[in-house]
Structure 1
Amino acid sequence: MPHIPQGTTDTIQLELFEPALEAALRPSPGYDVSRWLYVPNAYSDYRYILGTRGEKPLICVGINPSTAAPDALDPTLQSAQRIALANGYDSFLMFNVYAQRATRPDDMEPVLNPLLHGENRKAFRYLLSLSEHPAVWAAWGNIIEKRDYLMDCMRDFAADGQAAGAQWYTAGPLLKSGHPHHPLYLKGDTKLLAFDIEAYLERAVSMT
């Protein structure tokens, strides 16, 4: 079933990232925590992180979560995992520009929730901290144009990546729009190419 938000995230009690991470690192009856990283560790109206554990992870940045969960990846995350493995990574970590769950991006809330973005930013910094040289795959497609606040969020994540010495990639060449490809329709062996996130953000004003 699709996930349709029943309201805006400022009307619910958000679980902050750090306590949610602590809970996600403890054993869970629902899935194997030695294999999965799932924050928060139960299905909710938002998700900070979903991915597999490994020594060489690829951080995949999409727009917003849908219904995926441990052992129940949706087609987008299945594609992301295949491409990560095909490019020499042993794991993938799905992160999103905005943490609100909505199967249809058109259902995302119209106005940014600063608290949710702040906690999501903590999640991204945590993912960056897992590698000495973080690898980040830009994978949001044209969907980033759905809400004005998404590009502003992306600028924050680019700054965090720069501070951590992250290398950004795109899967295959950019779309005609100038945005990186969404994973869903990419071949499983698509090669990652270096992506200049700063140049992209400079061009973004003319794209949006």
Structure 2
Amino acid sequence: MYDIYSNSKNDHWRFKLGRSGSRNLITIGLNPSAATKEKSDTTIAKVERAARQAGFDGFVMLNLYPVRSTDFNALPNEANAEALAENLAQIEAVVAAEITPVIWAAWGKNILARKFFIAAGKELLIRLEKHNTSWQQFGPLTQSGHPRHPSRLHYAWEFTPFDAKHYAQKISS
């Protein structure tokens, strides 16, 4: 079903999932849930629909942390360093492969649930700056100022620019 797929550790870690196109929307969520190369889940279905609606013919779903969990609260308090390092490298490779990368910041307010989510987010914002990325958010930010997760979107909303530099400063303080 999906031609873009990278995983490890008996599929306990998922780095990327998507469908190739000539114009891909890169989406960065929090952590992967149940979707696999063969089957979608609610988040992936919403990402794919929002991408098509906005004129993208492909998408790549990435996450701040690659360890699967249907409940982010079930993740450990400390990140697996190997998983995190591999994930950041794979994200940067996906972004670097695009001529004009468009990235949907889509991790939601739950980025605050683990310090390693915040650290990964800040590291990505720094690493990806050199790739001339266009950061986007879908709909308004949450009340606490975070880009909404795809599970919390309304299809009537649209993509608008996301100020990644300002956001990085905000979560650093």
Task: Pick the TM interval, shorter chain.
Answer: over 0.9
Structure 1: gaps (5+ residues) = 1-30
**Residue in 2 that maps onto 1:133:** 100
1:155 alignment counterpart: 122
CA distance in 2, matches of 1:166, 1:198: 12
What CA deviation, in whole Å up to 9, does each residue of 1:63-84 have, x standing for no partner? 0001101341110110011101
Aligned-pair CA distance for 1:42: 9.0
Corresponding residue SS for 2:151: coil
Q: What is the TM-score when the length of structure 2 is the normalising length?
A: 0.94
Aligned mates of 1:147, 1:203 — CA distance in 2:
16
2:136 to 161, 169, 183: 169
Larger Rg belongs to: 1
Aligned residue pair count: 173
- Kept in 2: contact 1:139–1:170 (CA 8 A): yes
The residue that corresponds to 2:71 in the other structure is 104
Question: How far off its partner does 1:183 sit?
Answer: 0.7
Percent identity of paired positions between Structure 1 and Structure 2: 29
With normalisation by structure 1, the TM-score equals 0.79
Whole-Å separation in 1 of the counterparts to 2:47 and 2:9: 21
User: Unaligned 5+ residue runs, structure 2?
Assistant: none
- Distance in 2 between residues matched to 1:63 and 1:144, nearest whole Å: 7
Shift, 1:108, TM fit: 1.0
3-state DSSP class of the match of 1:184? helix
Query: Which 4+ stretches in 1 moved above 4 angstroms?
Result: none
CA RMSD of the aligned region, Å? 1.6
1:56-135 pair list within 5 angstroms: 56-135=23-102
Question: Secondary structure in 2 aligned to 1:76?
Answer: helix
Say if 1:131 and 1:79 are closer, same or farther in 2 by CA, change over 3 A: same
Deviation string, structure 1 residues 18-71 (Cα, Å, up to 9, x no partner):
xxxxxxxxxxxxx5xxx5101028961110001111111011000000110134
Cα separation, 2, equivalents of 1:103 and 1:97: 15
